Amino acid sequence: MHVRHFSFAALVTLLTLVATSAIAQVPRTPWGTPDLNGLYDYSSVTPMQRPEQYADQEYLTEEQAAALEQAAIDRDTNALNAPVRRAEAGDLAGANGHAWQWGLEFGTKVVADRRTSRLIDPPNGRYPDRTPSAMADGERRRGFGAILPWDDYLDLGQGDRCLALHGLPLSPLPYNNLVQLFLTEDYFAIYAEAFRTWRIAPITDRPHGTLRQRTGDLRARWDGDTLVVQSTLFSHQLQQLGLAGRGIRTLTERFTLEEEGLIRYEYTTDDPTRWTAPWTAAISLRSTVGPLFEVACHEGNYAVPNILRGARAQDGTPDEAPDEPGILCWDCEAR
């Protein structure tokens, strides 16, 4: 019995040393927290919802993951060597569609844990049911972005007008999938490359304020080695991932440094106006080499005047897209 007890104690000690060693390998700040600072790429070939072909399969096998990643590499290679396919996005895709593949960055890696979907809750990897009001809104908006009146610049989407937000939450796009994280002892800043979206969260136990803000009112706190960022009081219409403005009660994000150069990013959205239950998704943030360039969408943005000119040509009216500064185009004075 004494020998067995000694062996068990030795095993516990060994496991403790191994765990302590593993924790020590994660880069830390001078004040002792995991060091989240850096430039990260969050592109991914893992889909948001689990494809039907995987049914109840929660994780990809190594072979399945390798096949998906190789297909992504082949796709990018073929796109670079292929001519522009102008009809690929559809005749009515407009400025919100992409008629090419080269120049886009869909990513070539699955998420680090090889899940079959970025959605991790509900467990089936699919969105929860939408509320009746959300379904009615979806029917009302059916076809939006394809056929519009286009009588005025206000008819155009926020993306066409370079007014969109991104990074609430971080979710892969066809391009600009970089995020710069800045961590101090008292603040955490998130700078999403797409649309230059800045968010700054004080790391504090102080409660949220009362003022609605474009990117919400943020607070951050440490939960062990995970930095939790909670945002609420949104005043802006959030168009990505079905998030919609004032209906969102909270967006909760969790940043966990799993190893040097790899962060597990998990987020939960609570919007009872659109979803019958909250849902959670997770992606991998992988360290990448900079520099990070400004995405100045408004510079040289001819989408607004050209869309309106095209609409005037279709309905047979004279070209009324003006050269009036500050009305329809962002850089009219420069032209």
Digit-by-digit pLDDT tens for the chain (335 residues) are 444 444 555 554 555 544 444 455 899 999 999 999 999 999 999 999 999 999 999 999 999 999 999 998 887 676 556 544 433 333 333 334 444 555 678 889 999 999 999 999 999 999 999 999 888 877 766 655 555 667 888 878 777 888 878 888 999 988 889 999 999 999 999 999 988 899 999 999 999 999 988 889 999 999 999 999 999 998 865 544 445 444 678 999 999 999 999 999 999 999 888 899 999 999 999 999 988 888 888 777 888 888 888 888 877 765 544 444 433 333 333 33
Q: Choose among 322, 279, 296: nearest CA to 118.
A: 279
CA distances from 224 to 34, 133, 257 (A): 10, 39, 11
> What 3-state class would DSSP assign to 279?
strand
pTM, entire model: 0.79
149: amino acid identity, one letter: P
Contact status, residue 285 vs residue 40, Cβ threshold 8 Å: yes
| pLDDT at res. 167 | 85
Handedness of CA 181, 174, 272, 224 (dihedral sign): negative
| pLDDT at res. 308 | 87
| pLDDT at res. 61 | 97
**Domain parsing of the chain, residue ranges:** 40-83+92-287
Q: Choose among 19, 13, 41: nearest CA to 284.
A: 41
Number of neighbours of residue 300 by Cβ within 10 angstroms = 12
| pLDDT at res. 79 | 59
Strands 178-183 and 187-192: antiparallel
